[in-house]
Amino acid sequence: MANQNLYNYILGIADNSLVLGQRLGELCGHGPSLETDIAGTNISLDLIGQTRSYFQYAAKVSGKELTEDDIAFLRLERDYRNVLLVEQPNTHFGYVIARQYLFDVFHLLFLNELQYSKDETLSAIAKKGIKEVSYHKRFSGDWIKRLGDGTEESHEKMQEAVDDLWRYTDELFEMSEDDQQMVSEGIGVDLPKLKESYYDEVSELLSEATLEIPERKYFSYGGKNGVHTEHMGYLLADLQYMQRTYPNMQW
Amino acid sequence: MTIELHPNIDAHLIEVLETVSDPEIPVLTVLDLGVIREAVEKEGVIQIKLTPTYSGCPAMDVIGDDLKSAFAKVGKKVNVDLVLAPAWTTDWISESGKRKMEAYGIAAPLEETADKEALLGNKRIVKCPQCGSTNTHLVSQFGSTACKALFKCDDCLEPFDYFKCLK
Ligand SMILES: [Zn+2]
């Protein structure tokens, strides 16, 4: 392949959107209220739409006869590069919101940088995505406040979700070899540089929501290298079902 | 910001383009919606550059197919390319498009700052397309399609869609 680093890099970004989009899609018809149900699927739709743009581009970069569907449905678990945070299950609504917010803040900071990429296609996808992700963050942030500063039970559940998910936040800023290569070419985003803004923004909102950032010495990593949590296999079983059962089916 | 509406569209193609509408808001043509970035005829083939409203908008595939069949009716072949830059915003919707939208029962997008106030539920400023009252409130930030939010009028009590401002 002409540019293996770029190909991997695009997949790394796209897989985050794909997997989170799939998680939110699972909620379709199962949201706690009609409005939140619709919100979840709308956000999912945006994320899957972004994924399609990335995969179409990756297919082109690959120089092979690949389609966006091949990339989405025919890879093995170890070939998915998404961070662990986005594959965590929909344990309860507070959990869904915490996962969403912790990713949205990163996602927006990331796209804000990616729009200055020397790669024109990535820059265009980022600019489009910024408009959508700002709206996602507004939604998830509002719900963090509402639930954190809500009833005793909602507060407790929200804090528990944040405590649980916080261990996956450091991976967002981990640099893979592809990340490093792309940064050196002026294409990729220097992730550690986003860390401080991320931490500041999340702390501020959590404290507004009467929630705390947990003290944690150890973090979980692995997703960016294809080593996923046990939840990933189940997610892919769902995601890939049609293509695995009826290979090459189209509709 | 005013955007010149059809700078890269061959005048003789407009008539056919006006027959293709947004499948989700059928009163809006693709020109009203501002998703045609370029339409030119080169050596008998029409080259169209189409831009999505939202990344995941399922209407885009349908619009692409509809463009092909609309031009097929007049014996012309079409190539449709999807372009992302510059990103579409609600500024690309034409003034006549906004009026048609309102007549259809969807409140047209407000200016950016006003839109934020409306969607945060801070101010009652979105005008009910049924009775014209601004005594309305936000029911849901997300609505029936990616581009809309759901509101309710407190005067005539009708629920209605608001086309979100995207900048
Ligand atoms: Zn009314």
Q: Per-domain residue ranges for chain B?
A: 11-89, 105-163
Query: Domain B11-89 - what CATH class?
Result: alpha beta
> To which CATH superfamily is domain A4-211+224-245 assigned?
Ferritin, core subunit, four-helix bundle (1.20.1260.10)
What is the per-residue burial (b if ≥16 Cβ within 10 Å, else e) of B90-112?
bebbbeebbebbbeeebbbbbee
CB atoms within 10 A of CB B153: 22
Residue B118 has pLDDT above 90, yes or no: no
What is the C-alpha to C-alpha distance for residues A124 and A73, in angstroms, rounded to an integer?
Answer: 25
E-strand stretches of A98-192: none
Distance B160 CA to ligand 1 centre (A): 9
By C-alpha distance, the chain A residue nearest B52 is A128
pLDDT score, position B57 = 82
C-alpha distances (whole Å) from A41 to each of A131, B31, B53, B68 are: 17, 28, 17, 30
What is the C-alpha to C-alpha distance for residues A183 and A187, in angstroms, rounded to an integer?
Answer: 6
Place of tokens 């885009």: B60
Q: What is the side-by-side order of every strand in the sheet holding B36-42? A: B36-42, B45-50, B77-82
Of B141, B144, B167, Cβ closest to residue A139: B141
pLDDT tens across B63-113, in order? 999 999 999 999 999 999 989 888 899 999 999 999 999 999 999 998 888
pLDDT score, position A16 = 98
C-alpha distances (whole Å) from B139 to each of A161, B36, B119, B148, B162 are: 26, 32, 9, 12, 11
Which backbone phi and psi does B51 adopt, to 5 degrees?
Answer: -120, 140
- The predicted model scores a pTM of 0.90
CB atoms within 10 A of CB A200: 11
Higher-confidence residue: B126 or B122?
B126
pLDDT score, position B4 = 53
By C-alpha distance, the chain A residue nearest B146 is A42
Place of tokens 């010495």: A217
Would you call A99 an interface residue with chain B, using a CB distance cutoff of 8 Å?
no
The answer for B 1-40 residues in CB contact with A (under 8 A) is none
A&B contacts, CB < 8 Å: 71
Average pLDDT of chain B is: 90
Which backbone phi and psi does A97 adopt, to 5 degrees?
Answer: -70, -45
Give percent of chain B above pLDDT 90: 65
Length of chain B, please? 167
By C-alpha distance, the chain B residue nearest A39 is B142
pLDDT score, position B5 = 58
Residue B120 has pLDDT above 80, yes or no: no
Would you call B148 an interface residue with chain A, using a CB distance cutoff of 8 Å?
no
Joined tokens for residue B90 = 């609600």
Would you call B165 an interface residue with chain A, using a CB distance cutoff of 8 Å?
no
Distance B99 CA to ligand 1 centre (A): 17
Burial of residue B113 (number of CB atoms within 10 Å: 0-12, 13-18, 19+): exposed
By C-alpha distance, the chain B residue nearest A120 is B85
pLDDT score, position B1 = 46
DSSP for B55-102 reads TT-THHHHHHHHHHHHHHTTT-EEEEEE--SSPP-GGGS-HHHHHHHH
C-alpha distances (whole Å) from B13 to each of A81, B37, B42, B128, B150 are: 45, 13, 12, 35, 36
What is the C-alpha to C-alpha distance for residues B71 and B59, in angstroms, rounded to an integer?
Answer: 18
pLDDT score, position A10 = 98
DSSP β-bridge partners for residue B153: B136
Burial of residue B27 (number of CB atoms within 10 Å: 0-12, 13-18, 19+): middle
Of A38, A46, A135, Cβ closest to residue B140: A38
Residue B167 has pLDDT above 80, yes or no: no
Are A53 and B146 a contacting pair at CB < 8 A? Answer: no
What is the C-alpha to C-alpha distance for residues B41 and B161, in angstroms, rounded to an integer?
Answer: 37
Joined tokens for residue A28 = 């379709």
What is the C-alpha to C-alpha distance for residues A114 and A16, in angstroms, rounded to an integer?
Answer: 15
Distance A138 CA to ligand 1 centre (A): 27
Would you call A104 an interface residue with chain B, using a CB distance cutoff of 8 Å?
no
What is the C-alpha to C-alpha distance for residues A86 and A179, in angstroms, rounded to an integer?
Answer: 19
Distance A35 CA to ligand 1 centre (A): 21
pLDDT score, position A193 = 98
Of B120, B140, B146, Cβ closest to residue A45: B146
Q: What letter represents residue B22's amino acid? A: D
Indicate which of A41, A42, A68, A137 best probes the interface with B, i.e. most B CBs within 10 Å of its own CB. Answer: A42
Residue B3 has pLDDT above 80, yes or no: no
Would you call B121 an interface residue with chain A, using a CB distance cutoff of 8 Å?
no
Would you call B167 an interface residue with chain A, using a CB distance cutoff of 8 Å?
yes
pLDDT tens across A18-56, in order? 999 999 999 999 999 988 999 999 999 999 999 999 999
**Cα-Cα-Cα-Cα dihedral sign, residues A88, A90, A92, A93:** positive
pLDDT tens across B5-46, in order? 577 999 999 999 999 999 989 999 999 999 999 999 999 899
- Positions of chain A with pLDDT under 50: none
Residues in chain B with CB shorter than 8 Å from the CB of A52 are 55-56
Would you call B138 an interface residue with chain A, using a CB distance cutoff of 8 Å?
no
Joined tokens for residue A136 = 């996602």
Confidence of residue B144 (pLDDT cuts 50, 70, 90): confident
Would you call B109 an interface residue with chain A, using a CB distance cutoff of 8 Å?
no
Would you call A75 an interface residue with chain B, using a CB distance cutoff of 8 Å?
no
Distance B156 CA to ligand 1 centre (A): 4
Distance B143 CA to ligand 1 centre (A): 18
By C-alpha distance, the chain B residue nearest A37 is B142
Would you call B143 an interface residue with chain A, using a CB distance cutoff of 8 Å?
yes
